[in-house]
Amino acid sequence: IHDFGSDRGIPYLVMELLEGCDLRGALEGGGWSRERALRIAVAVAGVLVETHRIGLVHRDLKPENIFLERTGERENVRVLDFGIAFFDAGDGEGGGLTDEGTIVGTPYYIAPEQAAGILVGPPADIYAFGCLLYEMFTGRTPFEGSAIEVMSSHLYEQPEPPSERAEDVSPRLESLILGMMHKTPKWRPTARQVEAELRAIAREHDVVLDVVSELPTLPQELRVLAVGDVDRELVAALTRQGIHIERVDRVGAQLSQVSVIFAADCSLSAIRDLVATNVPVVATLDRGDHERSVKLRELGVAARLPRPVDPSRLAVELARVVRKRRDAQRTTTLRLRGAPRVTDR
């Protein structure tokens, strides 16, 4: 969530606009392959590694919460909707109930301990991910029927081996999926073990994994100009992340090597001039300042960040903006190369 507030009594949220489709749409839309499934699976596993590392449990992994963002020729995987997620204290007691006696999760991907209404931890995400993998590689969910029937199956029945539903499921992949769906949480692999095994399986099938990435990276040659009141601590924090920001009082005419401009606490007129340079601009605003948010969007600002600016958030936005610009330039170049030549007769 970038921002929130109320406009004329109507509450609103400002969220990132993603272009692409969710995993459900991809599964049903055709063009599916084992190679693409492995790339997406490795990316999702990487997200779980990081979320579990900080003690966060998603609790509702399903195709609708996996978004495949299309940027040019790249497909970036986003895990969405942490609305019922919680932080696991790491004391072995879990924390899986929103209220006592309330079951959270989606029946087709719910772990047995969730279906039983008891406390859960990171292994519940592993089970749900196993159900996702089962569907991604067979085209069917592990269990089918009504919600009650499916939840009962998660509790008491073993899924049909994936290889009996799809020919191209290798023994190694099948072993991983069934291990992730073990009824007993402690016998399931960790997210890091799942990621390592998926990468090994991908190598066996000569699948290139760098096509899918969870977060974009900033190239070393990236040049960021910062205009306005830029906090020294923010610059230092970004420098520690390998991002060099050049602070300037004003932007000159030589902008050919500039990748993005960070406008910190700049006036709208100043931002208008910056946007006119045709270099992507990332600007700041106060939380809840709906009027400025709308005006920044109308001016063509590439991204808006609430103050105080979080260094990690800024790094991700800078990378996203630069990546989109370069993808757009690459697409334009390809189109120009493919255009028919016009000659005078």
Active site residues: 60
Asked whether the bond before 340 is cis by omega within 30 degrees of 0, the reply is no
Is the CB of residue 265 less than 8 Å from the CB of residue 284?
Answer: yes
Q: What Å distances lie between residue 105 and 86, 187, 205, 334, CA to CA? A: 13, 21, 33, 44
List Cβ neighbours of 205 (8 Å cut-off, separation of 6 or more).
34, 35, 38, 170
User: Which two structure tokens, joined as six digits, stand for 189?
Assistant: 């692999």
* 183 φ/ψ angles, rounded to the nearest 5 degrees: -65, -30
53 within 8 A of 119, measured Cβ to Cβ: no
Residues 6+ apart with CB under 8 A from 312: 241
**How far is 318 from 339, CA to CA, in rounded Å?**
32
Residues β-bridged to residue 245: 224
Contact by Cβ (8 Å): 112, 183: yes
Are 16 and 2 in contact by the 8 Å Cβ rule? The answer is: yes
Q: Is 284 exposed, middle or buried (0-12, 13-18, 19+ CB in 10 A)?
A: buried
User: What is the rounded distance in angstroms from the CA atom of residue 230 to the CA atom of residue 49?
Assistant: 33
d(CA 11, CA 4): 8
DSSP reduced 3-state for 69: strand
3-state secondary structure of 66: strand
